Chain A
């Protein structure tokens, strides 16, 4: 078999050949620019590389100009060891420990093929963390699906959950949290985001750069196959068209067993000091790894593509360059250490091959069967992609939406109506127990999971001797972001920040996954720019830096985009995990308090969504100064052991928070609505900067004093009762509402199994 391969010589000779750049996702002006860079037409291999690397997914061409704010508005901080731009940011958590964490989207593949899409989402983010030199220690999944009762949700959700479990469980990483949200806006565009956190000592941090002329480029891990070709350009950077061809061949197929070997093998070669630079292979495969390593290092690399081990011998060089086969890594190794490196790969049964050498030519040269098929300046592929200032325009419907407040929705006015509203919300898909999902994930493996779902944050012990640990939460309310994207991003940040502080950890750093519709729609671009501005301003105000993140555009079907969904992950540090605060009511007689102030804020609330299918008005006010003071109270209260439980008040308001605290360990409480407020507003408003806490009777005053020092309102509303008792709320429109924990439990637990079981 001899198919003619398009060489650099060919491209120089017949420069006018028509090329299929549009099919590869490149726009005419982008193609023209490639020709300008090279001074000739690109070879088909070069065209393949530019097309994947200049895709929206890899190049951030529409988002770059906005994302710069995260750097421009970066707060004064000394916690960042590695900032934005590397595979993942690295944060100093003290005692010589560093933590790296990042969220990425795998939305489009998961819609096409839910199991493999979700599975390889985990695989990809884990390799990002690994390539920083860290041991991955936990994963979390922020998920968004269409309406819970829609038939397609029944296709997508079980596959996504099984894929996350199937891959993560087999990899040996505890899944400690995340979100599951249903909203019809995600019907054709589910959001499958995956977060991974890794830990390392400061001296173990590694970067992706090809340093040292003469050093060897080693490709190791799985062999390269024909799966996932064009995943980033075909799937992640275009909208789906109704009736278009199925794009299943563009989805990668994962092998978690190989990834587990890759983790152990990689950590062993790193700790043995055998690696000069390292990069994972994910989106855009070898094209990305070679061009980024070369661009970050000496500037040149010579690759012999024939040396890449293949699963399918018929693959063309273009396909090899674009393949997104999973479980592969690329390392830069000195000739003196190559044998030791290969020995460790053999120990772990991991295939490893030298595919190239670092040069100082300033060119990335790739040859195939003795002929040069790529000869490009690597920086033009990896970093100098197109940058777009896309037009943006505040949507014409924004004013109408904001004017349509929830005041038009009928509110409960009797105790009986409040009772029935509580049960309706407790059993609604977004608030119902997620046990059916989370019981499919291993939360115990590695033996350092301190808190896991449904707690406010996941918490991992980092140091088994000192007890130092980290807490992580991810949050976003897409309805709030739709009502006001600027505030919506700040609200997502505020909630995540509060969730971390509620467990007793001090918030330290931020990651994000910005899920939006098409950047070619000025209204979407306005939402995006507002959300980024809000998040950057919010992080500056709270004094915690953004360490990195991910943008996922084109989450829309036809002209209908998803709710803007800037998922925000906050990482916090706790000196000793023994001092963590759980959300559960535990000790009979403990006093229940609400920290923070409640206002009449029900626009975009879970109540309006579930009971009235209503979305309009302005979202709750965000007060980051209050959030910061509240977090200080929570951290101080945990450290001085004056708090016995804490739970963030958000979706569903105080009523839902109380129910969740009672159901966590099946322990009840008796509380009363304060006399000066409307019962409905008090129980269901979603005002921010609030937490329900409990404290032992002899410690309540100490807790109140901590709150008073930070000017945070602390109001006693009742006390914890006995295990198995009821949750009783006095003074609800003049009556007492008593809810059976068994009945609440059954209501909360029944919903997901009934839909998906």
Chain B
């Protein structure tokens, strides 16, 4: 049973997919708790999602301003202490700016915003957010970004690969020029995951291309029960 599991969804000014993330949590069987950027309190949630969008208009640099929001202080501490955190799209950018994850997201190599149903392969099932997938499982979920190209220096990329921290990789088309087709990565402990595509848009057959994204949310709920 996952009842009573509370997952916080942070709303920054300019967050757009916060409702979608909350809906995905509910469909997965958890309770979604709204967290406010200006409130330096996680209200005892069991996990946190940083949703997609354009926090602070993506001005200066994607995620660069959100990283300094009051809510991020307790969040960074909690993440370092093992709290499961999933950053989707803009949330991934915020996690990189916060140095909870290495590397950065840069403008798509083709310079256009792109929205497409993207095939990805789950490379690691040992993270808090991917344990319900089968290793090597290929799924299709929406991708939509203007600055989704994952970059890091070769040493960092080698280390991510060596440590099994590449969580997901693009299959077929690399939609944004990400190094080594990387769609998502985790921290060393596996509790913090950043993902460029949007699993929260693939949780209902009526509105998504598939329901393949749901397992990100059931994974973390199952992990809490087992913990």
On whether A257 and B56 interact (CB within 8 A), knowing A172-B16, A439-B115, A446-B20, the answer reads yes
Mind listing 10 A-B residue pairs with CB under 8 Å? A162-B112, A162-B113, A165-B113, A348-B13, A438-B115, A440-B112, A442-B115, A443-B115, A447-B20, A447-B200
Give 1 or 0 for each of A210-224: 1 = CB within 8 Å of chain B CB.
Answer: 000000000000000
B54 interface residue (CB < 8 Å to A): yes
**B57–A257 CB distance below 8 A:** yes
B61 to chain A, nearest CB (A): 14
A380 interface residue (CB < 8 Å to B): no
A577 interface residue (CB < 8 Å to B): yes
B99 interface residue (CB < 8 Å to A): no
Closest residue of chain B to A258, judged by CB?
Answer: B57
B114 interface residue (CB < 8 Å to A): yes
Closest residue of chain B to A464, judged by CB?
Answer: B23
**A172–B53 CB distance below 8 A:** yes
A599 interface residue (CB < 8 Å to B): no
Contacts of B116 in A (CB 8 A): 439
Closest residue of chain A to B111, judged by CB?
Answer: A162
Name the one of A261, A441, A442, A446 contacting B13, with C-beta atoms under 8 angstroms.
A261
Contacts of A349 in B (CB 8 A): 13
Q: What's the Cα separation between A82 and B113 when bound, in Å?
A: 37
B198 interface residue (CB < 8 Å to A): yes
Q: What's the Cα separation between A383 and B179 when bound, in Å?
A: 60
A445 interface residue (CB < 8 Å to B): yes
Enumerate B9-56 residues with CB–CB distance to A below 8 Å.
Answer: 13-14, 16-17, 19-20, 23, 38, 52-54, 56
**A257–B59 CB distance below 8 A:** yes
A471 to chain B, nearest CB (A): 14
Closest residue of chain B to A170, judged by CB?
Answer: B54
Enumerate A222-262 residues with CB–CB distance to B below 8 Å.
Answer: 255-258, 260-261
Closest residue of chain A to B18, judged by CB?
Answer: A172
The 3 closest A-B pairs by CB, nearest first: A257-B57, A172-B16, A444-B201
Secondary structure call for the A interface:
mixed
Q: What's the Cα separation between A449 and B206 when bound, in Å?
A: 8
Enumerate A85-121 residues with CB–CB distance to B below 8 Å.
Answer: none
Name the one of B14, B19, B54, B112 contacting A447, with C-beta atoms under 8 angstroms.
B19
B184 to chain A, nearest CB (A): 18
**B113–A166 CB distance below 8 A:** yes
B90 to chain A, nearest CB (A): 11
A603 interface residue (CB < 8 Å to B): no
Contacts of B56 in A (CB 8 A): 257
Contacts of A166 in B (CB 8 A): 113
B144 interface residue (CB < 8 Å to A): yes
**B144–A444 CB distance below 8 A:** yes
B126 to chain A, nearest CB (A): 28
Size of the A side of the interface (Cβ < 8 Å), in residues, is 33
Contacts of B13 in A (CB 8 A): 257, 260-261, 348-349
Q: How many A-B residue pairs have CB under 8 A?
A: 84
Contacts of A258 in B (CB 8 A): 57
A725 interface residue (CB < 8 Å to B): no
Most buried by B among A171, A348, A442: A442
B138 interface residue (CB < 8 Å to A): no
Closest residue of chain A to B203, judged by CB?
Answer: A447
A721 interface residue (CB < 8 Å to B): no
Most buried by B among A170, A258, A445, A578: A445
Closest residue of chain A to B198, judged by CB?
Answer: A444
A461 interface residue (CB < 8 Å to B): yes
Contacts of A445 in B (CB 8 A): 16-17, 20, 52, 144, 201
Contacts of B19 in A (CB 8 A): 446-447
Known contacts A257-B13, A464-B23; 8 additional CB pairs below 8 A are: A169-B54, A172-B17, A256-B54, A260-B54, A347-B38, A439-B115, A442-B144, A577-B206
Q: What's the Cα separation between A171 and B53 when bound, in Å?
A: 9
A153 interface residue (CB < 8 Å to B): no
A269 to chain B, nearest CB (A): 16
B154 interface residue (CB < 8 Å to A): no
Contacts of A440 in B (CB 8 A): 112-115
Closest residue of chain A to B11, judged by CB?
Answer: A264
Q: What's the Cα separation between A450 and B209 when bound, in Å?
A: 10
**B57–A170 CB distance below 8 A:** yes
**A260–B16 CB distance below 8 A:** yes
On whether A439 and B54 interact (CB within 8 A), knowing A445-B16, A449-B207, A461-B206, the answer reads no
Contacts of A279 in B (CB 8 A): none
Give 1 or 0 for each of B204-220: 1 = CB within 8 Å of chain A CB.
Answer: 10111000000000000
Enumerate A161-218 residues with CB–CB distance to B below 8 Å.
Answer: 162, 165-166, 169-172
Q: What's the Cα separation between A441 and B58 when bound, in Å?
A: 17
Closest residue of chain B to A161, judged by CB?
Answer: B112
Contacts of A464 in B (CB 8 A): 23
A448 interface residue (CB < 8 Å to B): yes
**B198–A256 CB distance below 8 A:** no
